[in-house]
Amino acid sequence: MTAFGDPADAIIIGAGVVGCAMARRLALEGAAVIVLERAPDILSGASKANSAILHTGFDAPPDSVELECMQAGYDEYMEIRGGFNLPVLETGAMVAAWDGSEEERLPELLDQALLNGVADARLLSRAEVLSREPALAAHVRAALLVPREVIIDPWSAPLAYATQAKALGARFHFNAGLQSADFDGGIWHLNTQAGAMTARSVINCAGIQGDRIEQMLLGEAQFEIRPRKGQFVVFDKAAARHLRTILLPVPTARTKGVVLTRTIFGNLLVGPTAEEQEDRERPDVTRPELEMLIAKAVELVPALAEAQVTAVYAGLRPASEEKHYRVHSLPEKGYYCAGGIRSTGLTAALGIARHVQALWSQSQTVSGSRPAETPIDPLPNLAEHLTRDWQMPGHDGIVCHCEMVTGREIDAALASPLPPGDFGGLRRRTRCAMGRCQGFNCLARLASLSEGRLSVPLVPEAAR
């Protein structure tokens, strides 16, 4: 059976950026794919809250799966982005040294970048750094410039992958958390909140729950998730004029450290922190850490002392007890795992999907054939440096004045092939309520426009 009777060729557990990219890759190969997501929408885990940097892999461990996937992911993103209308903000990144010991480490970082194939990385003197970024604090000593590090839209990219997978026949089930599973020697029988489903293979892309899903499926897990929280402060758009380049610290063994970067939406972002926590569900923001981030931003760019804060948020990295990705398989059970994708998954997702698909196809077959044509649905642009919908005629009025979101954009998102399931999904697809007033002025209108169209209705009092 299949394409598309029961069982599916693969059930993907989790619709974060990795699950969405995985669904697209397998669907492009002609596989009958089901995606299970416990939340009402895609990108409800780590993938909803990151720094949105498309990394070159200049500081990734050499010869690692992570480096391979990041570079393959970066290249594929650049290759496909035109068709999907996915934006890039070409900022480049500077690893800045602020004291003598950091400066001493820059040549070693350059060597690693060159070893990792990032051939255009180069050292900048203090004068070169300040001529590129005059607003930096005067005590900057030198930097490593990585020109091809860029900023992307962290939500439209995975939405594009998922939308294409759906157009190729992949089935997405939301509010469909996996509850139990049984392998009968040939077929997986999965019991989910949305009913029973069967497949010849399962692919674990469950992020922060990855180890528990592996335990549930196999009876034991090869890895243990250790959630690592990252908090961010978003400065108002006026602050973005102070910095063009992504500003990275000299990394430590544990974290890439606090980054100061523009966002594709025109703001300036500082974060993330790196805080271990037991709780897998709640990435709370905390005042001392947010104040520390603001102080750090002002230390690096003194003019930010005057900047207003628009929003704060936090995400949980699905880190594990080891630094490397936890990608492995048990072919005799039709089990594949893309786990522990802690801090580079936005970049690496398309590469991880290729890597896991290569493992998968060593012992699995697709029931369909490769599609003759690849459907591509261009996504609406939300990037501030490109033309937005409000700048074009016939947009049906502005609904969110802070982020200049139009009625036509809200309607298009709600009517799209993969519509939002909740208010968070609508925000990520349009930017509504993401600006200065955080929805104070537009929640009632948004509730009325989305009435009956979200699986979790927007209740303005609850969303405030």
Ligand X SMILES: Cc1cc2nc3c(=O)[nH]c(=O)nc-3n(C[C@H](O)[C@H](O)[C@H](O)COP(=O)(O)OP(=O)(O)OC[C@H]3O[C@@H](n4cnc5c(N)ncnc54)[C@H](O)[C@@H]3O)c2cc1C
3-state helix, strand, coil in the chain (%, to 5): 35, 20, 45
Phi-psi region of 377 (alpha: psi -120 to 50; beta: other; left: phi over 0): beta
Least distance (Å) between residue 427 CB and ligand X: 16
Could you tell me how many helices (H) and strands (E) the chain has, helices first?
12, 23
Least distance (Å) between residue 423 CB and ligand X: 16
Q: Using the rule CB under 6 A, is 230 a contact of ligand X?
A: yes
CB closer to ligand X, 81 vs 388: 81
Among the listed ranges 7-15, 286-294, 360-368, 383-391, the one in contact with ligand X (CB under 6 A) is 7-15
Q: Using the rule CB under 6 A, is 443 a contact of ligand X?
A: no
The answer to whether 348 touches 77, Cβ cutoff 8 Å, is no
CB closer to ligand X, 29 vs 37: 37
Q: Using the rule CB under 6 A, is 51 a contact of ligand X?
A: yes
Near ligand X by CB under 6 A: residue from 26, 31, 40, 44:
44
Q: Using the rule CB under 6 A, is 15 a contact of ligand X?
A: yes
Among the listed ranges 133-141, 180-188, 310-318, 322-330, the one in contact with ligand X (CB under 6 A) is 310-318
Among the listed ranges 17-25, 353-361, 416-424, 444-452, the one in contact with ligand X (CB under 6 A) is 17-25
Q: Can you read off the two tokens belonging to residue 428?
A: 């990520």
The answer to whether 274 touches 255, Cβ cutoff 8 Å, is yes
Question: CB-based contacts of 70: which residues, under 8 Å, 6+ apart?
Answer: 55, 56, 57, 60, 344, 347, 348, 351
Q: Using the rule CB under 6 A, is 87 a contact of ligand X?
A: no
Q: Mask of contacts with ligand X, 173-192, x by CB under 6 A?
A: ----xx--------------
Q: Using the rule CB under 6 A, is 427 a contact of ligand X?
A: no
Least distance (Å) between residue 351 CB and ligand X: 11
Q: What is the DSSP string of 236-293?
A: PGGGGGG--SEEEEPP-SS----EEEE-TTS-EEEE---EE-S-SS-----HHHHHHH
Report the alpha-carbon distance of residue 87 to residue 76 in Å, rounded.
14
Least distance (Å) between residue 126 CB and ligand X: 27
Q: What is the DSSP string of 119-131?
A: TT-EEE-HHHHHH
Q: Mask of contacts with ligand X, 257-296, x by CB under 6 A?
A: ---------------x------------------------
Among the listed ranges 35-43, 164-172, 355-363, 412-420, the one in contact with ligand X (CB under 6 A) is 35-43
Near ligand X by CB under 6 A: residue from 200, 237, 242, 317:
317
Report the alpha-carbon distance of residue 203 to residue 192 in Å, rounded.
15
Least distance (Å) between residue 144 CB and ligand X: 17
Strands 335-339, 202-204: pairing is: parallel
Report the alpha-carbon distance of residue 447 to residue 453 in Å, rounded.
10
Q: Using the rule CB under 6 A, is 57 a contact of ligand X?
A: no
Kindly state the number of chain residues that form the binding site for ligand X, as judged by CB under 6 A.
42
Q: Using the rule CB under 6 A, is 170 a contact of ligand X?
A: no
Q: Using the rule CB under 6 A, is 40 a contact of ligand X?
A: no
Report the alpha-carbon distance of residue 26 to residue 370 in Å, rounded.
10
Among the listed ranges 51-59, 403-411, 413-421, 422-430, the one in contact with ligand X (CB under 6 A) is 51-59
Closest CA to 172 of 184, 161, 186, 188: 161
List interacting residues with ligand X (CB under 6 A): 13-19, 36-39, 44-47, 49-53, 55, 177-178, 205-209, 213, 230, 272, 315-318, 341-347
